[in-house]
Chain A
């Protein structure tokens, strides 16, 4: 079968990225610079706090957003992370996760709403979301560098790409699965499109949207760890260093800290979702 020429797919993608980088590099570098400063001051701010104060704040948030059980669990988990000396990497990972999730929500929920209301948009966006989610996470790291440079901004951007599909998908789904009669009821009283969205569709899809946010946070956490490869630092950086020095003990310690963070974030968002469902 040698007469069939090999598709130069890789070249195509690279030339496309080259074109894009040339066109957008100025902009993306500027964004990167601004964000870099923001992230740094964020991390420094939280990291500069006495560890026990931040711990108390986080436990307090867990108590307010979830319940006492989650708060106690968080206190124990966070204390353990401090105890094994991973407090600072944990803080920077947390900042990266929260920022990436925030950006994913800001873009994801409006896209999800459009997908929920427009069949055509949903049909277009669905395969794209599948593509984004199944593409191996590492691949996103490569193009992020020419755009945003090495470091945490690239990490956040590739994390957003990787983790945004669930919040879009589940927001669309949440709006789509509302009982058709409820939409008819809202229409029959003469609601405007915006009234229908704000008073009926969004409140009713909120539990599903929260489930989407929960998944987005989990994906963001896993991606932020991987993004250590392009210099994101944090707990992922600890794991990466342990790999390079072949120190399984250090690796597991950092891994366990990631697991603890995952559990805390998951429980808190799940409780919020459950509370909305009532």
Chain B
């Protein structure tokens, strides 16, 4: 959510009170809306269709904002108002300080060439041009020299993994490949903003997932500001830094995926997200605990044993001085080593049977990893131990999330709903807190209980 003045300076796209009304004399529709008439009344009385109604939000530089809504919610109309493929009836679209709605025909054309690229639901590849001719279209109409544009187009094709497909015609490509071409075509002009209108909606589910992953990875490299339209909540949750939820042309909620899921603003959002598995969006980072005492590779086995004894653990993670994870050491092995007078923990550490996951690992998969009993290590990309996850901490995080979720109607802060909460939630919380540091068997029991409840 955009709050305050400090973030506004970085806003790349600012949408201010956008309206789009279809029909004759659309201005009248705005007057009627301001008088408080509903869309159905306006349709019946004035024969005007309200496509987008008073939409305002910002998209910050480098951010991916997903505009989500069912068909007819006005999301595709909205994205076309941004580059004025449709003229907004009222409101401002400010891109990098320039009000797009004020540009004349020629200025708009230049602005489109520099700022925007669009990717379309049904790919919109030109069937009479080869793949590479499609990809270089944007540069061609800008008058870039043939050699240079060909080179840049081939680079884009490489970027999307279509090296060597340049001379084929779009008709010979599969759906996923076609949309890669669409993406390459959009990237070739090196725009500041990518507008993606249901870009993956026409693809098979498996290919869609691949494309989502690839776009995320690709955008790590090219760092574009992306406005992404979808009707698929899972896609929105996966792709969006923030999500704008639309219904009947209006924005219902703007927020991060977590906010949308855990604090739905209205009953509509709540219903919308009701059948989303909350474990899908929470990641290992959200549920991990601070690593309990760790053993260093140069500790002796007795030191490691003492650390375990002091915090009541049956095992300990072993790290280097840098914090890099080496392995896991159980109390039995440490005791064994102490008896045999082994000098370093390093020599007895179990390096094979340790499960470690990255920070963004989804919680759903963590559940199955945790059943083995041992805690799971959470590491960053340099293998530095950042936290640990025991089954109990997952449950604790989930019960928190669920409480927010159920308590949202009163829009009360989380702790208030906690004290006023039902017996059940209180108990869950109690179990979860103790389970967080309890031996594995105990927390596994608690997890089953929780699963039975759910």
B85: A residues at CB distance < 8 A: 184, 187-188
A142 to chain B, nearest CB (A): 45
- Which residues of A180-235 have CB atoms within 8 Å of chain B's CB atoms? 181-182, 184-192, 195, 199-200, 203-204
Complex interface: chain A residues within 8 A of B137 (CB): 186, 189, 199
The answer on a CB contact under 8 Å between A204 and B128 is yes
Scoring B110, B121, B138 by chain A CB atoms within 10 A of each residue's CB, the highest score goes to B138
Q: Which residues of B contact A195 (CB under 8 A)?
A: 141
Contact of B124 among A184, A191, A199, A203 (CB under 8 A): A184
Residues in chain B near residue A204, CB distance under 8 A: 126-128
With contact pairs A184-B85, A184-B118, A185-B118 given, residues A190 and B124 touching in the complex (Cβ less than 8 Å): no
Supposing A181-B122, A184-B85, A195-B141 touch, asked if A189 and B117 sit within 8 A by C-beta, the answer is yes
Residue B120 CB within 8 A of the other chain = yes
Residues on A with C-beta less than 8 A from B126 are: 182, 185, 199-200, 203-204
For B128, the chain A residues whose CB sits under 8 A away are: 203-204
Task: Say yes or no: A179 contacts B122, CB within 8 Å.
Answer: yes
Query: Which secondary structure characterizes the binding site on chain A?
Result: helix
A184 close to B141 (CB less than 8 A): no
A190-B122 contact in complex given A195-B141, A199-B141, C-beta closer than 8 Å: no
Closest CB of chain A to B153's CB: distance in Å?
13
Name the A residues within 8 Å of B195 (CB-CB): 188
CA distance A189 to B137 in the complex (A): 8
Residues of B within 8 A of A203 (CB): 126, 128
The total of Cβ contacts below 8 Å across the A-B interface reads 57
Name B106-121 residues within 8 Å CB distance of A: 109-113, 116-118, 120-121
Contact B141 A191 (CB under 8 A): yes
Q: Which of B122, B127, B138 is within 8 Å of A189, CB to CB? A: B138
Enumerate chain A residues within 8 angstroms of B77, measured Cβ to Cβ: none
B142: interface (CB < 8 Å): yes
In B87-145, the 8 Å CB interface with A consists of: 109-113, 116-118, 120-122, 124, 126-128, 137-138, 140-142
B139 to chain A, nearest CB (A): 9
Q: How far is the CA of A179 from the CA of B122 in the complex (A)?
A: 10
Q: How far is the CA of A64 from the CA of B38 in the complex (A)?
A: 65
* Docked complex Cα distance between A56 and B80 (Å): 57
Residue of A nearest to B112 (CB): A190
Residues of A within 8 A of B142 (CB): 190
Interface residue? B189 (CB, 8 A) = yes
B83 interface residue per 8 A CB criterion: yes
| A207 to B, closest residue via Cβ | B128
Residues of chain B within 8 A of A200, CB atoms compared:
126
Q: Choose one: B112, B121, B189; the contact of A181 (CB below 8 Å).
A: B121
Q: How far is the CB of B244 from chain A (nearest CB, A)?
A: 21
> Is the beta-carbon distance between A188 and B141 smaller than 8 angstroms?
no
Q: Are B120 and A181 in contact (CB under 8 A)?
A: yes
Q: In this complex, which of A185, A187, A195 has the most chain B Cβ atoms within 10 angstroms of its Cβ?
A: A185
Which residues of the partner chain B approach A189 to less than 8 Å between Cβ atoms?
112-113, 117, 137-138, 141, 189
Does B120 lie within 8 Å of A184, measured CB to CB? Answer: yes
In the assembled complex, how far is the CB of residue B198 from the closest CB belonging to chain A, in whole angstroms? Answer: 11
Q: Are B121 and A188 in contact (CB-based, < 8 A)?
A: no
Does B117 contact A190, Cβ atoms closer than 8 Å? Answer: no
A187, closest chain B residue (CB) = B85
| Minimum-distance CB pairs A-B, first 5 | A190-B113, A190-B112, A181-B124, A185-B124, A188-B118
10 extra A-B contacts, CB within 8 A, seeds A179-B124, A181-B122, A184-B80: A181-B124, A182-B126, A185-B120, A187-B85, A187-B112, A188-B112, A190-B111, A192-B109, A195-B141, A203-B126
Pairs A–B under 8 Å by Cβ, sample size 29: A179-B122, A179-B124, A181-B122, A181-B124, A182-B124, A184-B118, A185-B124, A187-B85, A188-B83, A188-B112, A188-B118, A189-B112, A189-B113, A189-B117, A189-B137, A189-B189, A190-B110, A190-B111, A190-B112, A190-B113, A190-B138, A192-B109, A192-B141, A199-B137, A199-B140, A199-B141, A200-B126, A203-B128, A204-B126
